[in-house]
Chains A and B, each alone.
Chain A
Amino acid sequence: MSDAKGLTRQQMCDRLAMEFEDGWIVNLGIGIPTLCSNYDFGDRQIIFHSENGVVGYGPLTAPGKEDLHLVNAGGQHVTMNPGSAIVHHADAFGMIRSGRIDVTVLGAYEVAENGDFANWKMAGQKGGGIGGAMDLAACAKHVFVAMEQTTRRGAPRLVERCAIPVTAKGAVDLVVTNYGLFEITPDGMALKEIAPGISVDEVKATVGCYLIVPAEVPPVRMRG
C-alpha cells in the first residue's frame, strides 16, 4: 500500500457498496474492488456478475472447501447463491455490452477530471492487461473506481488528463480513495466526502487537477 493514511481498502469498498441499489447487477474488478462483496447489504438483493459467466456468486469459500470448477473473474474460489446461473463467456459479455450491468467497480492507475481513466497499461510497459475492463467501462450504467490516492512514489492518481493510455473516455462517475470520495461532475472533479484524519489541504496537495470543494465537506460515511 502506497499510503496507510485515511481509509482502509475495506472501508473504501464499503463506501462504494453503500451506493448499490436493491436489485442491481454488479461486476467487481480484480484487486481492491473485490472487497465490495464483503459489505453487508441487509435486505438489498445484489447480484454479482463475473466475466467468466458466473451470475449470482456469493462469498469466498473457506480453505479446503473450494469447488475447483468455480471461480470469479479474479480467479478466487467463490460460492453460488440460490438462483445463480452459469453462462459462457460470449453471453457474459453480451450482458455487459447490452447494458445489463448496473455498476462496475474497477481499480485504476489514473482517473481524469473528465471521467477518462486508465487501468490496463502501466507507463513504459509493452503489452497490457485489459481483461474485461474496456467492455465494462464502455457499457456499464455506472463506473466506480477504487484506488489509492497516490502512487507508491506519491504522484497523484486523480489528474487533469490521463498520461497513460485510457481504458475508456468519460466513463467514471465516482471514485473512492483512502483520502475520500470524489464525484466526476460536468464541472470537473468534486470532493464529496473526506476520510477521517485527512485535511482538505492534504487532499488538494495530492491531486493533479482542480478540485471542487464545498464549504463543508462531510466525513466519509461508514458502515453501521
Chain B
Amino acid sequence: MPKSKIYPSFDVAVADIPDNVTIGFGGFAVVGQPVNLYGALAKQGAKGLICVSNGTRGGSTLPEDAPTMEWLIKNDQVVKVVCAFTAPTRASQRLVFSEYYESGRIDAELVPQGTLAERMRAAGAGIPAFYTPAAVGTELAEGRETRVFNGRQYLLEEALPLDYAFVRAYQADSFGNLRFRRSQRNFNPIMAMAAKVTIVEVEEDILPPGAIDPDDVHLSGIFVHRLVKVPPAPEGWWPMRPAEVAARNAELAKAQGDAR
C-alpha cells in the first residue's frame, strides 16, 4: 500500500519544505486561495522562496488578519514573486509587497495572466516553451525572442515548473482526485499539474475512493500528493461575506486603537 495522502494538519503537510524552492499558490480574488497553507508555511519558516501566484495578496474579501503571501514577505521568506500583478491596481491601495520590492529586498517577474497560466499548463503537459501573441510590442517583450507565424508576431515563453503547489479544493477522495466548486478552480488544477508536490486544503470531509464519480473529477489524484481537511473556524480559515470582512476589519482596527 502506498503511503496515505491524508495528513493530520497543515503544519505536518508543510513540515519538510526546504529553503530555496518555487511554490505556486492557487486562487483568484480569494476564491480557491490556500489561506490555511499560507499560515502554516509562515509558521514553518522556509526561506529563499520563489512564490508564483496571480498577485501578492488576493482579493479585498479577506480580513486584515487572514494569512496571505504578505505573511511570508514580512517574514523575509520570499526572494522573488512571479505574478500578473506586482503593483496596486488603485492609487489609494498599498501592498506590503511594494515596500519590499521598491527597496530591492524582493525581486519580481511580471507576467500577463494568460501567459502565467499557460506557462504552468505547459510545465504540467511536458512542453518546454510556446509562442503567444500576448505582450508583443510591449516593454515585457524587449530583447526577447519572437517569431512570425502566418504573418503575425508571437513571443516565446518558457514553461514554469513548480516544486510545490498549494491549492484549495471543495471535495477530494483519498486518492487525491479533486473537485472544485464554481470559480474556485481558476489556477488550482494547472498549478498542481506543474508541481512535483501538490498540497491541498480540502473543504469537505475527505471521501472514500469511488465517492466522486470518475466523470466528475476535475483533477486526477496523479497530480495530488497531500490532503488536509480544513477544520471549522476559527481554527481553519473559511471564506467570509464582504459584510463579515468589513465587520472583522472594524473589530481589528478598534482593538489596535485600544492597544495604543
Contact = CB atoms under 8 A, between A and B. Distances in A.
Interface stretch (B2-10, B38-46, B132-140, B228-236): B132-140
Interface stretch (B14-22, B28-36, B71-79, B252-260): B28-36
A77 interface: yes
A138 B31 contact: no
26 contacts: A53-B183, A54-B182, A54-B183, A63-B242, A69-B32, A69-B182, A70-B182, A71-B59, A74-B29, A75-B59, A86-B180, A88-B186, A88-B189, A88-B190, A92-B117, A93-B118, A97-B133, A121-B139, A125-B87, A127-B86, A127-B98, A128-B86, A129-B89, A130-B85, A130-B110, A131-B113
Contact of A75 (B61, B132, B189): B61
Given A121-B87, A130-B112, A68 B240 contact: yes
Given A69-B170, A88-B187, 17 more contacts: A51-B113, A51-B114, A64-B243, A69-B181, A71-B28, A72-B183, A86-B182, A88-B186, A90-B120, A93-B118, A96-B114, A128-B87, A128-B110, A129-B86, A129-B88, A134-B134, A168-B138
B241 A64 contact: yes
A65 B16 CA distance: 41
B206 interface: no
A16 B85 CA distance: 27
Contacts of B198: none
B182 to A, nearest CB: 4
A165 interface: yes
Contacts, number: 163
Interface residues of B, number: 56
A223 interface: no
Interface in B135-171: 135-140, 170
Given A54-B183, A126-B87, A129-B86, A93 B117 contact: yes
B101 interface: yes
A122 B41 CA distance: 33
B212 interface: no
B239 A129 contact: no
A73 B114 CA distance: 13
B59 A88 contact: no
Interface in A126-148: 126-135, 138-139
Interface of B: 28-32, 59-61, 84-89, 91, 98, 101-102, 108, 110-115, 117-118, 120-121, 132-140, 170, 180-190, 218, 239-243
Contacts of B89: 30-31, 129, 131
Contacts of A72: 183
**Chain A interface secondary structure, helix, strand, loop or mixed?**
loop
A149 interface: no
A132 B112 contact: yes
Nearest to B60: A75
A182 to B, nearest CB: 22
Contact of B102 (A51, A69, A77, A126): A126
Contacts of B134: 97, 134-135, 138-139
A129 B85 contact: yes
Given A53-B186, A69-B182, A93-B113, A130 B108 contact: no
B138 A75 contact: no
A150 B28 CA distance: 31
Nearest to A133: B112
Contacts of B189: 88
Interface in A96-132: 96-97, 121-122, 125-132
B174 to A, nearest CB: 23
Given A54-B183, A75-B59, A90-B121, A131 B102 contact: no
Given A135-B112, A135-B115, A52 B29 contact: yes
B106 to A, nearest CB: 10
B231 to A, nearest CB: 17
Contacts of B120: 90
